[in-house]
């Protein structure tokens, strides 16, 4: 959530930057500032009324000491009137504050100055590429056909048990899932990230704090009886560990990693773009999260990108890193890099990770702060990224490594799988 400070001091700047995300903020900013002005006016009036109450209360005490009871009673009536007035002003303040907060959560995060303008994924900028493109034979199969023929992922059984987008992993398919999770966690903890195992459901406050509510409410599974939400990513519970916390400067950087199953209701169109593992409603993902000092967050983001890149390299997959344009960025991100791996059988790039810096946007909602050298509390910066999401990694591994003998397992994974081929 944007701070009131920047909206008060630089409203035109806010409107200008949000235009890079193709978001027209003029009316919302105007409504926020009007509500804020009314709230502050009510606060000023309330302060004056409370000062009068205190003054009158002292006067009553003096009159009672002098035995002037009638005069004291008259002033008591005046105090009672002032108390009613203060209640009305408090109610006005609460109403204006609620109006202001309801509008504030509608504003996306400001994209940083490095974010290119653009409306769609076509306008994203390729930062760098790596790996070797595989040349597959003409009869190469997409992963959903490979998975069926090898009996390692059963999409039809998932439909029977739950519905579309909930596959069942079997045999070496399940083993690959387990191997990738352990491999990713090992690489992340070796890089200094503390492993945590958070809940898979969160309360409304947690979903609000990281920006899923109200922006993505329809994309989350809701447990109505308890008003809980199934997590769309480990980012939500892990970042919320530090909700309502004040850290010391020496605590930074805070680095955490977590494996979780993720749940997303997001609907996709039918066709090859969402077939098989390309889009699921339940999937496995390993996440990395950082809390950073403001002056160090851009360096931290670069480090996270390099870390994810090192993992993708070990998987021997062709990849590219994209800096997202304003129109393709998430609601909460200030800057974002996407990782894509090439799916040789589908002849397309598949997104496997987004690494983002949120600046103070999440921290303002979280009330996650630190005390600087001047002993004043400041908002920290939050960052997160997938390291990595499993479904499309598995899809690319199956497709790119297929041969007449079977599916070759990358060397880095063999110690985790216990086998080097799926046949």
Q: Which tens digit of pLDDT belongs to each residue from 97-144?
A: 999 999 999 999 999 999 999 999 999 999 999 999 988 988 899 999
Backbone conformation region of residue 316, classed left if phi is above 0, alpha if psi is from -120 to 50, else beta: left
Q: What is d(CA 398, CA 169) in angstroms, rounded to the nearest whole number?
A: 14
Mean of all residue pLDDT scores within the chain? 94
Residue located via tokens 């850290």: 247
| Cis? peptide before 403, omega within 30° of 0 | no
pLDDT in tens, 63-92: 777 777 777 778 788 888 888 899 999 999
Q: Are 197 and 266 in contact (CB under 8 A)?
A: no
The arithmetic mean of pLDDT across residues 7-16, rounded, is 97
pLDDT band for position 375 (cuts 50, 70, 90) = confident
Per-residue confidence band for 58, with pLDDT thresholds at 50, 70 and 90: confident
C-alpha torsion angle, residues 188, 339, 347, 418 (rounded to 10): 0
Residue 267 is predicted with a pLDDT of 58
**Strand-pair category, 348-357 with 335-343:** antiparallel
Which residue would you say has higher pLDDT here, 62 or 193? 193
Q: Judge whether residue 274 has pLDDT over 90.
A: no
CA distance 237 to 54: 46
Phi first, then psi: give them for residue 266, nearest 5 degrees.
-45, 130
> How many angstroms separate the CA atoms of 110 and 21, rounded?
8
Q: Which residues contact 202 (CB under 8 A, 6 or more apart)?
A: 228, 229, 231, 236, 237, 240
Identify the helix (H) or strand (E) that includes residue 386.
strand 381-389
Q: What confidence tens digit (pLDDT) does each residue in 257-270 have?
A: 999 999 999 755 45
Greatest pairwise CA separation for the chain in angstroms: 107
**Reported confidence tier of residue 272, pLDDT bands at 50, 70, 90:** low
% of residues, the chain, pLDDT over 70:
98
Q: Is the pLDDT of residue 285 over 80?
A: yes
Residue 75 structure tokens: 């002033």
Nearest Cα to 112, choosing from 18, 253, 23? 18
Residue tagged 């009324």 (tokens): 49
Q: What does the pLDDT read at residue 269? A: 47
Q: Which domains are assigned to the chain?
A: 4-104 (1.10.287.40), 121-422 (3.30.930.10)
pLDDT tens digits, one per residue of 292-322:
999 999 999 999 999 999 999 999 999 999 9
Structure tokens at 112: 């940083």
pTM assigned to the model: 0.91
Angle (nearest 5°) at CA 183 between 182 and 186? 80
């Amino acid at each position: 959530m944007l701070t009131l400070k920047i909206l008060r001091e630089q409203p035109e700047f806010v409107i200008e930057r949000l235009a890079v995300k193709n978001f027209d903020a003029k009316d919302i900013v105007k409504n926020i500032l009007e509500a804020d002005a009314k709230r502050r006016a009510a606060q000023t009036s309330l302060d004056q009324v409370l000062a009068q109450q205190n003054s009158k209360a002292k006067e009553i005490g003096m009159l009672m000491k002098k035995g002037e009871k009638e005069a004291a009673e008259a002033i008591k009536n005046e105090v009672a009137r002032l108390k009613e007035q203060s209640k009305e002003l408090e109610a006005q303040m609460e109403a204006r504050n609620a109006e202001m907060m309801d509008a504030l959560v509608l504003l996306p995060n400001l994209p940083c100055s490095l974010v290119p303008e653009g409306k769609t994924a076509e306008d994203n900028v390729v930062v760098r590429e790596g790996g070797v493109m595989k040349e597959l034979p003409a009869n190469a199969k997409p992963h959903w056909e490979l998975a069926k023929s090898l009996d390692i992922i059963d999409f039809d059984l998932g439909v029977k048990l739950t519905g579309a987008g909930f596959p069942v992993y079997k045999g070496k398919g399940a083993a690959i899932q387990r191997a990738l999770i352990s491999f990713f966690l090992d690489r992340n903890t070796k890089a200094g990230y503390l492993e945590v195992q958070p809940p898979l459901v969160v309360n409304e406050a947690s979903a609000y704090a990281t920006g899923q509510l109200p922006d993505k409410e329809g994309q989350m599974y809701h447990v109505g009886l308890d008003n809980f939400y199934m997590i769309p990513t480990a980012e939500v519970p892990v970042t919320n560990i530090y909700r309502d916390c004040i850290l010391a400067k020496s605590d930074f950087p805070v680095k955490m990693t977590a494996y979780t199953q993720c749940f997303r209701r997001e609907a996709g169109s039918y066709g090859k773009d969402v077939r098989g593992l390309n889009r699921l409603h339940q999937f496995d993902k390993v996440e990395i999260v950082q809390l950073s000092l403001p002056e160090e967050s851009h360096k931290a983001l670069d480090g996270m990108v390099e870390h994810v890149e090192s993992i993708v390299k070990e998987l021997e997959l062709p990849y590219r890193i994209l800096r997202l344009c304003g129109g393709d960025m998430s609601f909460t991100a200030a800057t974002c890099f996407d990782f894509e791996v090439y799916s040789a059988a589908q002849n397309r790039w598949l997104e496997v990770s987004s690494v983002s810096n949120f600046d103070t946007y999440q921290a303002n909602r979280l009330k996650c702060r630190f005390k600087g050298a001047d002993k004043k509390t400041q908002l920290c910066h939050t960052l997160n990224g997938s390291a990595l999401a499993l479904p499309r990694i598995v899809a690319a591994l199956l497709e790119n490594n297929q041969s007449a003998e079977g599916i070759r397992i990358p060397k880095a994974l063999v110690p985790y799988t216990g086998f080097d081929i799926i046949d």
